[in-house]
Structure 1
Amino acid sequence: MTATLTAERIEVRDFEDFQALALSKTWQDGLPLVPPTEDRVAAMLTYCDRDPSFSFGTVAPYYGAATVEKLAIIAVMAGCAPEYFPVLCAAVDAVVQPEFNLYGLQATTSPVTPLLIVSGPLADEIGINGADGAFGHGNVANATIGRALRLVMIILGGGTVVPQVDRSTHGFPGKYSFCAAENVPATPWDPFPVQRGFDRSTSTVSVFGVHGFHSMVDIVSDDAADLMLTLSAGVAATGTNNMTHGGEALLVLCPEHAAIIGRSGWSVSDIQHFLFEHARIDMTRLPEGFRTYLRSRRPKWVDQDRYPVVDRPEQHQVLVVGGTGIHSVYLPSFGSTVAVTRPVLDAAGDPVATLAALRS
């Protein structure tokens, strides 16, 4: 379709002038931005069959409308290729869902950010990395899609550091970008979205409100129970929001650890129940004042000295991401949030299998 763009046109002299403008308008994350020319924005809409005025919702806490046109402008600024745009749209669709609690993530003092996990055929087609170094630097799709979501949160949601809406005490490098693919070939179970009822042929984006991760190394265990004891000890960390708020927690297994657990015949449910029973905090190690506070926050566990990280086994979310090596990671959550999975859909609401189905 031929897109009709309605955004205000602003004339700038050059690249540097646009950077100064973006800084003055707080349209920035501290890194240089790509000027969103009309041609670039039109190109960004190549793989979108929705009207530019269509809105996925509003972005808390300033509640700017997440229209297709605005998202395309921001995607250009973040450096996205047009092929990445459908994934960004699904990510925005996920974070604006009420249960994700974007307002809380944006305004808290906690160092929390949305983690994007892309699953399905589009992840491979556009080259999102879910293997070696997936959470790090070096992949354009990972970096720019994650960055684009952060810019959406800043520009449309008001999540700026100055003026202070984002009140995170220390911040977190993942606030620049935190996006990867699920390593489906290395997953011994159904992929994460399939466990949530989606078809394998449907591309999805799952968002998790997480803190930075804790790396857990076990180079010895070759049995699921032994390995899970190691990982449970790491998950039972004190001082996390999960300890004070409950909520969901995320265990990201490396392929080698996942293979050990899979060979032992364990299911995801087995992992969740093992974590629930063994990833528990020793309350006797905490001062009485803090123990009293925890009992007031999570009274269900008031009489127990071994305090669970989550309130129900299924709140332990499990993924496989990463490459060679024996490092799995635990990502505590914000607590007051739940993971949301949204499919990549066309304008008719049908799941998208390939980019060709979206080409406008």
Structure 2
Amino acid sequence: MTTYATIEDIENCMENGWTDGLPVIPPYGSLVDEMLDAMGWQGQDIIGEIPSQNIVVRAEKAAATAVMAGCKLEYGRLLRAVTEGLLDPLLNISGAEVTTGGASILVIVSGPAVEELGFEHSTNALGANCRANATVGRFAQMMRYFCGRGGGVLESHGTIGHPGRISFCIAEHPETAWGPYHTQFGLPEDASAITLMSTEGPNSINNHYAETGALILDTIGDAMCHYGQTAWYYRSGGFVVVIPPDHMDLVSKEFSREQALDYIYKNARRQTDDLIAMGRIAKSPIEFAQVVPGEMRSPLKSPEQLTFIECGADGGRFSALIPRWAGSTHTVCKQIV
């Protein structure tokens, strides 16, 4: 096959809508067959459904998407876990595609697979340019796009969108102060895992001069409580706190993970009456919203809606806050087997 023919096939993929807007590797049959083997499926295996839209997803579609995204065959077992997580009804992948909130599917990789497959977990951890982060994150977004648009469903309706809708995959440090990320979902400490959730974009948190872990947690909690954050009314979704080493060194001296969760949950609050006056809460709220005028209000219904991931580099006192999409209260965490 000539180089020109390959370029022509890439252009054909783009013209036919088989793309996220960037060039893809054409899903030639031999490449898809190899990826199917790596993922442990047969092409016609039904691996998931979206019943409300009459969408049936077969393994060949997932394998072809992995090829187009540029994933390596070595990622096969991880990609299978990602695929199964994406098609879990609890994740609501089609809802994430059409929401006006412009949610992205965040992929978190934790455990030995991070080093085994070459994921970046240190410098530029939230925007890693290495192949593993970029292509696995892209695979999840392309599956969201292709599955969410199946069966004649509407185009994306994100009012302003989210750059992570091209790729959003972060990996945790192999060695952590509080144990691997996936242990927050009951998986064994020595497992490799992927965790999926629908999220907004990350918000940078800067505190260079605090001398205690409590002040770092107070800064994170304050970032959760700005007027414009999405979850004030329904308090669904949640937040992922990303803590690099410089902030983690302070926090871990004073708090266990459970203590940090409890501290933020108890202290990150805002006056309900101010939220109503600002227009962030309906004046006649529904019962589900649990609005109590005159009380301090948390953006969380429970501490379980908050998780911590340890990644990022030394050399700057930054953390980050990733708000989860308010349209889904669920996170899917799966062991890579």
Q: Aligned match of 2:331 in 332, 336, 339?
A: 339
Distance 1:60 1:158 in 2: 13
- 2:285/2:291 contact within 8 Å kept: no
Secondary structure at the aligned position of 2:252 is classed as: helix
Higher mean alpha-carbon deviation, 312-321 vs 296-305, is at: 296-305
**Aligned partner of 2:118: which letter?**
G
**Residue 242 of structure 2: aligned partner:** 252
Q: Aligned match of 2:106 in 95, 115, 120?
A: 115
Q: 1:304 to 1:106 in 2, by over 3 A?
A: farther
**Residue 8 of structure 1: aligned partner:** none
1:220 maps onto 2:212 in alignment: no
Q: 1:151 to 1:305 in 2, by over 3 A?
A: same
1:198 maps onto 2:187 in alignment: yes
Distance 1:339 1:321 in 2: 19
Q: Aligned match of 1:174 in 155, 159, 164?
A: 164
1:98 maps onto 2:98 in alignment: no
**Residue 303 of structure 2: aligned partner:** 313
Q: Aligned match of 2:261 in 235, 247, 272?
A: 272
Q: 1:294 to 1:76 in 2, by over 3 A?
A: farther
**Residue 300 of structure 1: aligned partner:** 290
Query: Percent of aligned positions with the same letter in both sequences?
Result: 25
Q: CA RMSD in A?
A: 2.5
**Residue 31 of structure 2: aligned partner:** 40
**Aligned partner of 1:197: which letter?**
G
Secondary structure at the aligned position of 2:127 is classed as: coil
- 1:40/1:76 contact within 8 Å kept: yes
Shift of 1:110: 0.2
Distance 1:281 1:15 in 2: 57
Q: 1:233 to 1:18 in 2, by over 3 A?
A: same
Higher mean alpha-carbon deviation, 129-138 vs 290-299, is at: 290-299
Higher mean alpha-carbon deviation, 299-308 vs 208-217, is at: 299-308
Distance 1:163 1:98 in 2: 17
Distance 2:167 2:229 in 1: 21
Secondary structure at the aligned position of 1:216 is classed as: strand
Which consecutive unaligned segments of at least 5 residues does structure 2 have?
A: none
Larger RCO (alpha carbons 8 Å, 6+ apart): 1
- 1:283/1:306 contact within 8 Å kept: yes
Secondary structure at the aligned position of 1:311 is classed as: coil
- 1:130/1:322 contact within 8 Å kept: yes
- 1:183/1:320 contact within 8 Å kept: yes
**Cα deviation code 1:30-70 (max 9, x no counterpart):** 10111112222233234333333333312587554333322
Distance 1:336 1:307 in 2: 20
Secondary structure at the aligned position of 2:205 is classed as: strand
Relative to the length of structure 1, the TM-score reads 0.84
**Residue 30 of structure 1: aligned partner:** 21
**Cα deviation code 1:84-122 (max 9, x no counterpart):** 232222112112222222232111100211110011222
Shift of 1:334: 1.1
Q: Aligned match of 1:153 in 138, 144, 161?
A: 144
Secondary structure at the aligned position of 2:312 is classed as: coil
Shift of 1:141: 0.6
- 2:232/2:281 contact within 8 Å kept: no
1:134 maps onto 2:160 in alignment: no
Secondary structure at the aligned position of 2:126 is classed as: coil
- 2:224/2:268 contact within 8 Å kept: yes
- 1:249/1:333 contact within 8 Å kept: yes
Higher mean alpha-carbon deviation, 52-61 vs 331-340, is at: 52-61
Secondary structure at the aligned position of 2:304 is classed as: helix
- 2:50/2:89 contact within 8 Å kept: no
Which consecutive unaligned segments of at least 5 residues does structure 1 have?
A: 1-12, 346-360
Q: Aligned match of 2:42 in 42, 51, 57?
A: 51
Q: 1:256 to 1:287 in 2, by over 3 A?
A: same
Q: 1:292 to 1:47 in 2, by over 3 A?
A: closer
Secondary structure at the aligned position of 2:198 is classed as: strand
**Aligned partner of 1:344: which letter?**
I
Higher mean alpha-carbon deviation, 233-242 vs 40-49, is at: 40-49
> For this pair of structures, how many residues does the alignment match?
331
Shift of 1:304: 3.7
Q: 1:289 to 1:130 in 2, by over 3 A?
A: closer
**Residue 239 of structure 1: aligned partner:** 228
Q: 1:19 to 1:282 in 2, by over 3 A?
A: farther
